[in-house]
Structure 1
Amino acid sequence: MTDRDDIRVRKALQGADFPAARNDLVAYATDRGEVDERTLAALADLPEGTYGSVDEVVDAVPHRPGSVADR
């Protein structure tokens, strides 16, 4: 994950309620409608679990999230 990815993930989850499960975070970002596919892929590639804050999400985002083309 790059610094720009970090910023995109934080922006995508701005206003999200925590704690939140991975699927809830993906749904939240999707519902906002302003999130690019790369950020959605990064969130979808998070390990299954519940996250207590956006910082925990950023720390858990894979360094090389799956490509949307691979899905």
Structure 2
Amino acid sequence: MTTTDVERLHRALSDVDFPAGKDDLVTHAERAHADQDTIRVLRAMPPVHYSNMAEVERSVPLGPEREPADQAAQRRMHTHPGLSEQNKDTPGHPIADEVGENRGS
């Protein structure tokens, strides 16, 4: 999976006026001569309008050097449609969590 980091993302989008659409973000990154990984993750984002940089950060896969808690928070706080299921934290079944198994109900 292609990733970027917060620093490269901020460098690529330093002159963006929010709100901005996905295409605007990709165009700004290309004009800023961002690295190919950063451009790829921006192209892979859901095609919606982003209100601020925090929404963009939550919508792209950031590098593995992030703490697991930060990665989980990114997945949990992501509000845009189109995020693959593997990148979402999904709660377990409440009965299975309490009893330890799902009794087929």
- TM-score for both structures, normalised by structure 1: 0.75
Structure-2 residue corresponding to 1:7: 7
Task: Decide which structure has the larger Cα Rg and report it.
Answer: 2
Residue 10 of structure 1 and its aligned partner are, at CA, apart by: 1.4
**Counterparts in 2 of 1:45 and 1:19: CA distance versus 1, 3 Å:** same
Unpaired segments ≥5 residues, structure 2: 64-105
1:63 deviates by: 5.4
Give the drift of 1:62.
Answer: 3.4
Whole-Å separation in 2 of the counterparts to 1:63 and 1:15: 20
* Shift >4 Å, 4+ stretches: none
Question: What is the number of residues matched between the two proteins?
Answer: 62
Considering fraction of residues, name the structure with more helix: 1
The RMSD of aligned alpha carbons is 2.1
Does the 8 Å CA contact 1:19/1:50 hold for their aligned counterparts? yes
Segments of structure 1 that go 5 or more residues without pairing to the other structure are 65-71
Please report the TM-score for the alignment, with normalisation by the length of structure 2: 0.53
